[in-house]
Structure 1
Amino acid sequence: MDAGAANSSYNKATNYRSPLQRKNSRDDLDRFIPNRSAMDFDYAQYMLMEARKGKENPAVSSPSREAYRKQLAETFNMNRTRILAFKNKPPTPSKAVQIDCLSGAVHQAKPKTRRYIPQTSERTLDAPDLVDDYYLNLLDWGSANVLAIALGNTVYLWDASNGATSELVTLDEESGPVTSIKWAPDGRHIAVGLNNSEVQLWDSTANKQLRTLRGCHSSRVGALDWNNQILTTGGMDGQIVNNDVRIRDHIVETYRGHHQEVCGLRWSASGQQLASGGNDNLLHIWDRSTASSNSPTQWLHRLEDHTAAVKALAWCPFQGNLLASGGGGGDRCIKFWNTHTGACLNSVDTGSQVCSLLWNKNERELLSSHGFTQNQLTLWKYPSMVKIAELTGHTSRVLYMSQSPDGCTVASAAADETLRFWNVFGTPEVAKPAPKAAQEPFAHLNRIR
């Protein structure tokens, strides 16, 4: 059938109805028939009589009559405006049940209660000599539930299970201060980036330095991230280097795209894509399948929408190709990206410098920390980006955030030299087992210098 015939058939079908054709029940959805059993006839008669009396004798009134009218109004609930009812009142909700389709068993469903979000930190620790530098990354919470923080030339470890604090390393003035720290996936080994362009690898359990990575950069190393046995470093020289810590010649790939300091690095959960942000206001997406030492400038996407330094980066835990990025004081925006296409999905002006971002692992929420002027933590509902809560307490910009292994508690470190812990993400419905320590990628560290 050609298009003309199809259109003709459609017009006949829609504009003509056979006398014996069954009428579609949807044709009269605007016809409402009052439901007498659901109507309050006493109230209806009162309203009709009052309306009539008001028209006939508008000036007739007395104190006793007004008192009587007030009593009637309270009795009949004068806030109601309708005297016709078209359907019965909804029944009182009963306790929800869940039925197993296979066995037929009936289970009592637990009602979902609204999560309480404390507005104050549950714990505050002193963090003297914390470097007030937007471009550094000095806080990280490892999978073994140990929090690492760099204060000046010293790296401290705080065991969240018992509250014990220990010192990992104190550097001399020529090497320090510490400019970045990052736990390896096993929660035992930790990388420490230094102001002198070197990176040290430590075994936190044995409190022993395993090796020093040299030649990666020509100036300080402000950003680190792990991709299994690959340690990725970002420096003030604008270079990004992939280091295989298992081998002596550790530099395996170099990415060149930034022309100012690299201050943000995050590998996706799949380990396939790397997001990098810099002081040049650029955000790059690198893909391991296309970027290599033979083509070091072949980024997958070069994103130029931010108008200030891009430090805050966070990959979405429930959508692998969704990345959130935050801009500095001249930008103040949180942007969301589809990293497959490079499209900007949304941009939200937060009104203040975005220092760090964290996704809630249990709910569709995003937490951001900010600088001037409120120095707050803001919890957003995704994707509506409606503010759920604002957490205040820090008196200077909240430079660093990190999340506990169970995803419930957030640690924040600010230029006011305090470390605060917030129970902002609540308790997961089902506790996830702790990841098993993967020692194999680091088995060779003790033999390599």
Structure 2
Amino acid sequence: MFGSINSKKYFDRFIPRRINTEIDIMRSSDAAGLLNSPDVQSDVGFINYAKVRYHHGNFQKLLRNTLLPLEAKVLNFFPPKKISFNGVSTQWNETWPVKLRRKPVIGPPEMILDMPQFDSHLCHHVADWSSQNCLATIFENEVHMWYPDTDCRRATTNTGQGVQHCVKWAPDGSKFAVGLFPNRIGIWCIVKNKQIHENHCCLHFCEIFCLEWLDNKTLVAGCSRGILSIYTSELNLLKRVCCFPKCSIINITVSCDKSFLATSNINKTVIVWKISDMERVFTIKSKSIIRALAWHPWKSSLLACGCTDEASARVTIWNINTQNQVAREKTCYKNSSIGALTFNPISGELVVSYFVRDNHAGIGIITVLSNIDTVVEELHIHDAPILYLLWGSGGRQLASISADENLCIWNFFGNPSIEIKQTQDNSRRSNLLYPCIRITPTRLEWI
């Protein structure tokens, strides 16, 4: 009887031995060693560092579950709230709504195209991708068009003295607007394969620097004299507005619901306009010139800006309705600048191109953000500033164009069955948007 009482007390007071689940399976130094290992740093031409970190995290979880099968019992009293925004599931603390992809899926670029004599001037916009999946770029004062699906190539030939500085497709992809030399603007029709309309800019000595279509019937142009002009699709002038006198407009972008228009200029200023009456909503001042602007694809009040502060680039998110900055990137790259940024029209993720300087060299990095400080993709392939991020195939393909004269086409939602197309010499340059003669030190070759 005495023994049974002791036995009962023993079982009542028994505490099973617990495994220390707080043990660090792989220390941070080991993780850094993994990222810097020869297998990762070998000359492969392309690395998605976010995918490396993703697989490293999965391996760490698998190893922990194998060695320490007992899970820590944690009671979550306040689980993360989820809300629905137009059918999109999103975390309550996110800056903008997204349709998240589950993991890093972007592999090597599907194709790499040669862009000889690429115009990388800050004020110029020499490339665009249409809704009909046609890439257009300005080369030798003409617009060269290339259809990736059919490999069909065309070029303009009767634009007078030539195309200058900018090209922009209409939303339906049937025509595009171009800046013409010396101070004119033109409309090129794809069906008729000719220029159908032409008009002069505001002054005889100004130049068209940027273009944006509000819809298929309304075009906005910004010039080197700081004048914002609104035209019909027949280039009949509707209205002119002065942003800053004698201060070049370098970018124009319109919100998804066509309510707001954002412009940036050489004066380190971003102006948001109300399109209905072209009244200024508010002004954003910066310490550096802002060319990178992007509106959210379905939340029209959110505007993303790429700024440089204290020698490092940062992304800031502004709410136009409240006229406040709602988010500011914290995990920026040191000694960097932002060349372009854009929201994916399907997932709502933000794609940003950085150029990180290291002494006299540098590297171009493409990052995909699901939140202001959450990097889900980090692509390394360019070795110069990346000035264009363009969407094709309805947002499923991404084109990055860099000052290293390379244009890369990526499958944004992943397609591991497609292999990179390269030339016989296995170089990173493969095709040209339009055939041209290129002189090399050893021979004259026709690409």
Rounded Cα–Cα distance in structure 2 between residues aligned with 1:245 and 1:359: 27
Compare 273-282 and 327-336 and name the one that shifted more: 327-336
The answer (yes or no) to whether the contact 1:264–1:276 under 8 Å persists in 2 is yes
The answer (yes or no) to whether the contact 2:228–2:242 under 8 Å persists in 1 is yes
Offset at residue 126 of structure 1 (A): 0.8
The answer (yes or no) to whether the contact 1:308–1:331 under 8 Å persists in 2 is no
Residue number in structure 1 paired with 2:43 = none
Rounded Cα–Cα distance in structure 1 between residues aligned with 2:414 and 2:67: 43
Residue number in structure 2 paired with 1:154 = 142
1:275 paired with 2:262, answer yes
1:142 paired with 2:130, answer yes
Residue number in structure 2 paired with 1:355 = 339
CA distance 1:395–1:176, change in 2 (3 Å): farther
Aligned length: 326
TM-score norm. by structure 1 comes to: 0.65
Offset at residue 385 of structure 1 (A): 2.4
Task: Give runs of aligned pairs for residues 176-191 of structure 1, distance below 5 A.
Answer: 176=162, 178-191=164-177
Offset at residue 204 of structure 1 (A): 1.8
Offset at residue 424 of structure 1 (A): 2.5
Offset at residue 415 of structure 1 (A): 1.2
Residue number in structure 1 paired with 2:117 = 129
Residue number in structure 2 paired with 1:326 = 306
Residue number in structure 2 paired with 1:288 = 275
1:200 paired with 2:186, answer yes
The answer (yes or no) to whether the contact 1:400–1:412 under 8 Å persists in 2 is yes
The answer (yes or no) to whether the contact 2:107–2:414 under 8 Å persists in 1 is no
CA distance 1:86–1:198, change in 2 (3 Å): closer
Structure 2 counterpart of 1:224, one-letter code: L
Structure 2 counterpart of 1:303, one-letter code: I
Offset at residue 114 of structure 1 (A): 3.3
Rounded Cα–Cα distance in structure 2 between residues aligned with 1:178 and 1:260: 19
Compare 236-245 and 323-332 and name the one that shifted more: 323-332
| Same amino acid, percent of matched pairs | 23
Task: Give runs of aligned pairs for residues 79-118 of structure 1, distance below 5 A.
Answer: 114-118=102-106
CA distance 1:135–1:425, change in 2 (3 Å): farther
The answer (yes or no) to whether the contact 2:187–2:197 under 8 Å persists in 1 is yes
1:309 paired with 2:289, answer yes
Structure 1 counterpart of 2:249, one-letter code: V
Q: SS at the partner of 1:390?
A: strand
Offset at residue 171 of structure 1 (A): 5.7
Per chain length, whose mean CA-contact separation is higher, i.e. which structure has more relative contact order (CA < 8 Å, sep 6+)?
2
The answer (yes or no) to whether the contact 2:125–2:167 under 8 Å persists in 1 is yes
Rounded Cα–Cα distance in structure 2 between residues aligned with 1:415 and 1:79: 50
Offset at residue 199 of structure 1 (A): 1.2
From 196, 221, 241, the counterpart of 1:210: 196
Compare 347-356 and 150-159 and name the one that shifted more: 347-356
From 300, 310, 333, the counterpart of 2:281: 300
Rounded Cα–Cα distance in structure 2 between residues aligned with 1:394 and 1:259: 35
Rounded Cα–Cα distance in structure 2 between residues aligned with 1:419 and 1:365: 21
Offset at residue 252 of structure 1 (A): 2.5
The answer (yes or no) to whether the contact 2:186–2:195 under 8 Å persists in 1 is yes
Structure 2, unaligned stretches of length 5 or more?
Answer: 1-7, 20-65, 76-99, 416-447
Rounded Cα–Cα distance in structure 2 between residues aligned with 1:171 and 1:368: 34
Residue number in structure 1 paired with 2:367 = 379
Give the RMSD, CA atoms, in angstroms.
3.4
TM-score norm. by structure 2 comes to: 0.65
Deviations 1:331-383 (A, max 9, x none): 62211111122211122244422111111222241101233434434333333
Offset at residue 245 of structure 1 (A): 2.6
Rounded Cα–Cα distance in structure 2 between residues aligned with 1:206 and 1:120: 37
CA distance 1:425–1:318, change in 2 (3 Å): farther
Offset at residue 113 of structure 1 (A): 7.8
Offset at residue 384 of structure 1 (A): 3.7
Q: SS at the partner of 2:394?
A: coil
1:220 paired with 2:204, answer no
Deviations 1:69-108 (A, max 9, x none): xxxxxxxx996899x9999xxxxxxxxxxxxxxxxxxxxx
Offset at residue 258 of structure 1 (A): 6.2
The answer (yes or no) to whether the contact 1:410–1:424 under 8 Å persists in 2 is yes
Rounded Cα–Cα distance in structure 2 between residues aligned with 1:261 and 1:356: 18
Q: Rg bigger for which structure?
A: 1
The structure richer in strand per residue is: 2
Task: Give runs of aligned pairs for residues 2-21 of structure 1, distance below 5 A.
Answer: none
Structure 1, unaligned stretches of length 5 or more?
Answer: 1-35, 48-76, 88-111, 292-297, 428-449
The answer (yes or no) to whether the contact 2:185–2:198 under 8 Å persists in 1 is yes
Deviations 1:167-218 (A, max 9, x none): 124767xx45621110011201100113522111101232111011213354
Rounded Cα–Cα distance in structure 2 between residues aligned with 1:288 and 1:212: 24
